[in-house]
Chain A
């Protein structure tokens, strides 16, 4: 799984915001905002990664149990797919 080309994650003040770049950017008016965990997952997914790789990376980084982490990741993936952010 991977973030599609044409998106860029930036930090504005305290906020992580995904913006569209490139040829389709003109049609993209909606911004996607992420929390810190979301931004961490986004960065992982700039490379092609598996679900399991994301889970272990998040578990390494954050003090949380597997169930919580999986819930966060599932939500990120569901939202990301809905927003057209994710390939595969």
Chain B
């Protein structure tokens, strides 16, 4: 029988029951690779449930640093009887099944093309612990010990991690270490050479950090100067607001007075959340809300007001599967159009697409600047895959010379000097008018903000000419936004290429890996990572310089492609959609296969690796 043999390059999947305490044991397992210098990419695959339903934790160990979901499974740690059949089925031929063999299982429960590794976990736990909860929790640590023993994870690394986790809680430290060694020793004694997946210390992690996108975005809001956060709990965005609370408690409390330089309101619903953010933005404070698709649907009326009345608002959409309640705990990029055109009437909004936590941090702060500069709603379009999984990424960066861009705010001094103030008057030709904060000047600069049409001086008007002036100016402002949003990133192929690929957001790591795999097959593709809407001319140029351009997305309806056709004037015939939308993160294998098949169907013979296109 085939036996998968791999060093520092494999996928381990843990099948657990939600609420069984497996998460921290699994995280310990994942982090141990990082400490041995091997990049790792874990993903939580969890149900919309607190206790009892199946949950999976997939760890991709990848010395070459491919952080996308690979697909397939080399080792299944099957700890959940409910999902046994499905879990066993998922293992790649020649792969491994690790299970608790305390109770014997009939042969029919297994497959003959996989290697089965049994360990009496329950028996060991029951023999060593009396308390039911302890038996459960330590069973998790015991299997981590066994895996470490079989793979060759350095026990010192685990000891270091456990030490950090239970710093100051010595009572818990020792029993955890004991459980770990119990598993380790048992495996060394009984499971020698059972597993062909091995770990060897490497030096591929460097100074990278390991953080969830939601935490990074929250920290970006702290650094970017957000003082007001209003939110309503919704998966997968709740942990973002909670992280903001956590970071603010550490970083934003005035040391002298003990007072908070932040205000966080858990509102009664998403309508109130966006209302609070709109009120704060109107009054000159930096404010944001974090939500997901259903929240965006509820917020759309206010988004229209903020667009039309020109109020800075930052919205972070941690996308999940839709429509309706959809798949609350699965990932998608399916709110692109809903956000780009949110609200009734003619509207267009600024969207930023971060690829990982590093960019979640950077773009969150950028969104706050852009919202003030453009006086409009700005969306950070992240998703569950980035938001709720710890991801290895470049360290977060902040330049102390950086100043907040508060945009065009007319001060009392400027008004006093007699500078003309028309709240909706385009004075600089960039479509962006000046605003005043309420309470600026006793007699100058006050105006009435409204969602109804008005003239350039904020006076109510139903005159067609006033309406058209305003709407054209908003278009002008949208043009100005193009010069301010992050530019797309080109990933050129190593050989001249006639095919292009456009992708964005969390597709990034899978795409990078797919590009390498395609090149290996002789298919060279130039790729462009779109980082924002409105689209810059570079995107148009990119499409025009290729025969065909693949647009890779994680939604059914090719939403970015629609936006490219609508807003960048791109001929739809030049675009080919590659769509993945089952709720799991897109994989390199999927992208590679799709592109390779299409390329061959287009009757273009794959080019030999060493020949130019």
Is the A/B pair a real complex?
no
Which residues on A are within 8 Å of B, measured CB to CB?
none
Which residues on B are within 8 Å of A, measured CB to CB?
none
